[in-house]
């Protein structure tokens, strides 16, 4: 496993900031700029864990040949050394195994941060991730793959380079097709708040 101190996290954040530079949100821009100026500290205690969808992850990284290609080698190095989780939020009747995720920056990340979470999200082909919501504010940058992406009542088409913003408590649903989808996700605000599936708001689905 790579020593986190050996990874050029500042270079990764600069490249990521280029993709978000047209996003009109001072809070996000300020956080990214602050981390570029003072990069987060490495987490020496993290142990690498391979995702269940390893083949799909490798394919997704190879498919980063368009607008996100500048991130390709950085994403590959990080994803290889990250601690992946294969989550269903502990509620299999809502969402069975169909995605993997990892936290790169955050309290449990490759690099440590108290008020932001940033990581990779991998959704397998032909998976319907039902409408869900959370207290945290969220952004996605699609790195590869295509999907139908619904935010509340609005339906969008996701492809490489697309950025999505989910305000706090906004319901969102992702449906993949023949290829996996790989994305960077960012949580700000109430990063320790509730997570629920739309229509079942009374159940707080904690990670298990």
Residue 208 lies in a domain: no
Q: Tell me the HSE value of 68 on the side-chain side, using a 13 A CA sphere.
A: 26
The answer for residues whose C-beta is within 8 angstroms of residue 32's C-beta and 6 or more apart is 13, 16, 17, 20
Instruction: Give me the pLDDT at residue 22, please.
Output: 83
* Nearest CA among 157, 104, 153 for reference residue 131: 153
Question: Global pTM?
Answer: 0.94
Question: How many whole angstroms separate alpha carbon 32 and alpha carbon 24?
Answer: 13
Residue 205 lies in a domain: no
Show the domain range for 134: 4-197
Tens digits of residue pLDDT in 121-174: 999 999 999 999 999 999 999 999 999 999 999 999 999 999 999 999 999 999
Residue 101 lies in a domain: yes
Other beta carbons within 10 Å of 8: 12
Instruction: Give the total number of structural domains in the chain.
Output: 1
Residue 207 lies in a domain: no
Q: Are 88 and 97 in contact (CB under 8 A)?
A: yes
CATH number at residue 27: 2.60.120.10
Please say whether the dihedral angle defined by the alpha carbons of residues 132, 85, 61 and 115, taken in this order, is positive or negative. positive
Tens digits of residue pLDDT in 65-99: 999 999 999 999 999 999 999 876 666 666 677 89
Residue 31 lies in a domain: yes
Residue 206 lies in a domain: no
Q: Which helix (H) or strand (E) holds 2?
A: none
Paired residues of 42 in beta bridges: 111
Q: Are 101 and 120 in contact (CB under 8 A)?
A: yes
Has residue 1 got a pLDDT over 80? no
Structure-token match 């906004």, residue found: 170
Residue 148 lies in a domain: yes
Residue 204 lies in a domain: no
Question: How many whole angstroms separate alpha carbon 119 and alpha carbon 79?
Answer: 9
């Amino acid at each position: 496993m790579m020593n986190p101190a050996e990874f050029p996290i500042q270079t990764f954040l600069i490249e990521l900031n280029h993709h978000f530079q047209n996003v009109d949100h001072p809070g996000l821009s300020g956080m990214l700029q602050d981390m570029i100026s003072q990069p987060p500290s490495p987490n020496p205690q993290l142990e690498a864990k391979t995702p269940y969808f390893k083949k799909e992850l490798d394919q997704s990284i190879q498919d980063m040949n368009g607008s996100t290609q500048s991130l390709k080698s950085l994403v590959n190095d990080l994803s290889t050394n990250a601690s992946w989780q294969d989550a269903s939020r502990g509620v299999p009747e809502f969402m069975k195994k169909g995605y993997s995720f990892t936290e790169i920056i955050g309290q449990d990340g490759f690099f440590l941060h108290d008020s932001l979470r940033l990581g990779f999200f991998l959704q397998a082909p032909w998976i319907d991730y039902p409408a869900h919501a959370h207290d945290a504010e969220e952004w996605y940058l699609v790195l590869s793959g295509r999907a139908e992406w619904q935010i509340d009542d609005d339906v969008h088409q996701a492809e490489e380079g697309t950025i999505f913003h989910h305000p706090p408590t906004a319901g969102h649903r992702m449906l993949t097709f023949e290829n996996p989808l790989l994305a960077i996700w960012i949580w700000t605000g109430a990063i320790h708040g509730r997570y629920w599936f739309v229509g079942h708001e009374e159940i707080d689905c904690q990670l298990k």
